[in-house]
Structure 1
Amino acid sequence: MIHVIATLSTAPGRRQEVLDAFAELTPKVHAEKGCIEYGAAVDEPTGHPAQRLVGDDRFMVVEKWESPEALEAHHSAPHMVAFRDSVGDALTGVELLVLSPA
């Protein structure tokens, strides 16, 4: 199993637009072979001194996959290509952390 933490950056003021498209995408990803967990998350400010906020124009995707191969297949799945096309320039960047359980 692998863990993936993705940070998606959006054009200013367009996060909700991308989140709406992401909500339509999510059930398709859940149906993919090897998907264990996949969901978007936004800041929940707590005031904790160690907390770092993601910000208004970014959100995180928390994922678990059975294998690196399942993750690779996910990236090229037709619904992922369609998602990227649908959000166009509203999505300005993606950063991934791919981790193994310690």
Structure 2
Amino acid sequence: MIHVVASIRVKPGSVPEFLEIFKSNVPRVRAEKGCLEYAPTIDVDSGLPPQHLDENRVTILEKWESLESLHAHLRTPHMLAYRERVKGIVEDLSLAVLEAA
């Protein structure tokens, strides 16, 4: 199983717009072969000292059956359309692609 943590920083004040676009795509992604989990999350203040809150960050938590499933996901027409729709509001993207140790 492959775990993906995608950290997406959007332009200030753009989180609601980004989430609307993102969530409209979730059913298509969840229907993809190999998708086990795909959900957006936002920071919540935990009061824990090492936490760095960012009100303009959305973190996507994903689980895929395999790297092949993840690569296929990135080539789907709905993901190409999604990236086009959000490119004007996304400032930065980082990925962690992980497997169980």
Same fold per superposition (TM over 0.5) = yes
CA shift at 1:35, angstroms? 0.2
Who is 1:72 aligned against? 71
Who is 1:20 aligned against? 20
Runs in 1 of length 4+ with deviation above 3 angstroms? Answer: none
Describe how 1:1-102 pairs up with structure 2 within 5 A: 1-53=1-53, 55-102=54-101
In structure 2, the gaps of 5 or more residues are none
Aligned alpha-carbon RMSD (Å): 1.0
In structure 1, the gaps of 5 or more residues are none
Q: Measure the CA separation in 2 of the matches of 1:82 and 1:38.
A: 17
CA shift at 1:62, angstroms? 0.3
CA shift at 1:100, angstroms? 0.6
TM-score by length of 2: 0.93
Q: Measure the CA separation in 2 of the matches of 1:50 and 1:92.
A: 24
Q: Measure the CA separation in 1 of the matches of 2:93 and 2:46.
A: 25
CA shift at 1:50, angstroms? 3.1
* CA distances 1:19-77 after superposition (whole Å, capped 9, x unpaired): 11001011110000000000000011121223332x11111000000000100011111
TM-score by length of 1: 0.93
Q: Measure the CA separation in 1 of the matches of 2:66 and 2:93.
A: 20
Other structure's SS at 1:13 match: coil
Tell me the percent identity.
44
Q: Measure the CA separation in 2 of the matches of 1:51 and 1:91.
A: 22
